[in-house]
Amino acid sequence: MINLNYKLLGKGEKKVLFLHELMGDCRNYEPIFPFLDKENFTYIFVDLRGYGLSKEIKGDYNLEEASTDIKNLISKLSFDEVILVAHSMSTMIAQRVALIEAKVRKLILTTPISASGIKVPEIQKKSLIRKMVENKRAIEQIVRSSSRRYNQTWINYRIDMGYSSSLPEARVSYMNMYLNTTDFENDINEEIEVNIIIGKNDSAVFAKNETKKNFSKYKNVSIIECQEAGHYPMIECPIFYATQIEKFCK
């Protein structure tokens, strides 16, 4: 059994575990650190295999492996209950963990992907995966398409993060996970509470109406839309994001 690496903040009774996106790692959450309630909560910011603090841990980089790794980490940390926070790509993993780990009491999903993945035209899908395999242009394309409101400094920062945060093979495998190989929509834990944070300026596939439709199988869903954010509300609006996380956790 491997042990994923993580950053730990706080000393509170409530445990909140964070998962990252495809083109970042736990550093994406650093802007919210000053605004978190560290007396009442303990926060665990995890890096998956091939990413950030766990970059040297090799694997298959797929849904089953990642969800099992998170389940094992929860067990290792001896948590009785935990709230899972996930962003984009890892929201699929969080939903899977909620199926196999009863200690997960609530999901907080940021700009989420449903359990059936993202449906895009076949030609676009093949182009994205090919560029990611070649390790060039795919990250730039994704960043530029989602960063039209922002300056070149932000674009450069996100592109650098996209390349430096993970191994190329990890990015390719996880992109395949949500574009091609995974669909467990019929198996989700419909009873678990799901709280969703989206950005009003995000891509169309993450828009509010799409999100409502994609998560309609859950019986207890709430959606908060951050008016000034795109795909990265934790970076674009950190005070708002930290406040919503705390509200959802309580």
Query: For residue 37, what are its two tokens?
Result: 């309630």
Query: Residue 71 class from Cβ within 10 Å (0-12 exposed, 13-18 middle, 19+ buried)?
Result: middle
Residue-wise pLDDT tens digits, 114-152: 999 998 888 888 888 888 898 878 899 889 888 889 999
In degrees and rounded to multiples of 5, residue 223 shows phi and psi of -130, 125
Spatial strand order of the sheet with 193-199 comes to: 6-10, 41-46, 14-18, 82-87, 104-110, 193-199, 221-226
Quick check: pTM over 0.85?
Answer: yes
Q: Among 57, 12, 50, 6, which residue's Cα sits nearest to residue 27?
A: 6
**Residue 87 near residue 19, CB atoms below 8 Å:** yes
Which stretches does DSSP call E strand in the chain?
Answer: 6-10, 14-18, 41-46, 82-87, 104-110, 193-199, 221-226
Domains of the chain (ranges, CATH numbers) = 6-115+185-249 (3.40.50.1820)
pLDDT tens digits along 145-193: 888 899 999 999 999 999 999 999 999 999 999 998 678 999 999 999 9
Q: Are 92 and 117 in contact (CB under 8 A)?
A: yes
